Amino acid sequence: MINCLIVDDELHSVELLLHFAKQIPELNVIKATTDPVEALLFINEGNNVQLIFSDIQMADVSGLDIAKAVKGKCKLIFVTAYSEFALQGFENDIVDYLLKPVSFPRFLTAVQKVENMLAPRVPASQNTTDHIYVKMGVKGKLLKINLIDIDYIESNGNYIYIYHEGTRTLANSSMKEIESKLPSSMFIRVHKSYVVSIDRITGIEGNKILLKKNIKAEILLGDTYRSYFFENIHRKTLG
């Protein structure tokens, strides 16, 4: 059971999150309020809060203030209508960033992240895969592609293009299928149409992914993948 607190200065948002939380047996809402000051006092009084769902833009005390106050003490998920605070949120170790209007499946995904974090850690088996095989046009012919040689992968309807070593290889695969074969430590989904090698990323400007100079591609960071992207890079961000 995860003890959680909900704070949002809009009552209908609090009521929606309460409705969602009641459908998840693992959640125990011990406080729900539209007053962020009251929420912060409740936390500081030593109540056993393990998870907070918080709006960002609120009067007197913002969600970022709450994130800074509870950093390291409990888990926090932002629920907001504003996407521009995602990086600041992940810099304060939030678990997830939900954009309003929030659907129940998206809410459930965020809660499952917290459950995974709080569950006893079991050593994972090492993924030793370092290559993939792609079926070519000639029957029985396969092309071996080393993962370290892949720059990025682009979706093209029912097919994908794999860009590697200056070459573009067509494969009869969906993005979901190829993602399942790639280690998350090496590749990241940044757009509905793109998976990029983390090693090839040199930076980000606005919604544009910057890649190494020898890679001629313009790849945008999709809104759906923005929070996940920043969640994965914030631990390596300085300043």
CATH number at residue 89: 3.40.50.2300
Same domain? For 139 and 113 the reply is: no
The confidence score (pLDDT) of residue 86 equals: 78
Is the domain of 74 the same as that of 154?
no
What's the CA dihedral at 190, 117, 81, 108 to 10 degrees? Answer: 90
Residue 122 has pLDDT above 50, yes or no: no
- Per-residue burial over 107-125, b if 16 or more Cβ lie within 10 Å, else e, is beebbeebeeeeeeeeeee
Q: What is the pLDDT of residues 137-161, one digit of tens each?
A: 666 688 999 999 999 999 988 899 9
Same domain, 90 and 190: no
pLDDT, one tens digit per residue, over 190-212 is: 998 999 999 999 988 888 999 99
Whether residue 124 lies inside any domain: the answer is no
pTM of the model: 0.54
pLDDT at residue number 232: 73
Domain that holds residue 51: 2-118
Residues 65 and 135 in one domain: no
User: Greater confidence, 143 or 117?
Assistant: 143
Domain end, chosen from 83, 118, 153, is at: 118
pLDDT band at residue 112, thresholds of 50, 70 and 90? confident
Q: Does 126 map to a domain?
A: no
Q: Considering 67, 97, 118, which residue would you say is the last residue of a domain?
A: 118
Q: Please indicate, yes or no, if residue 184 is contained in any of the structural domains.
A: yes
Please calculate the CA angle 80-83-59 and round it to the nearest 5 degrees: 45
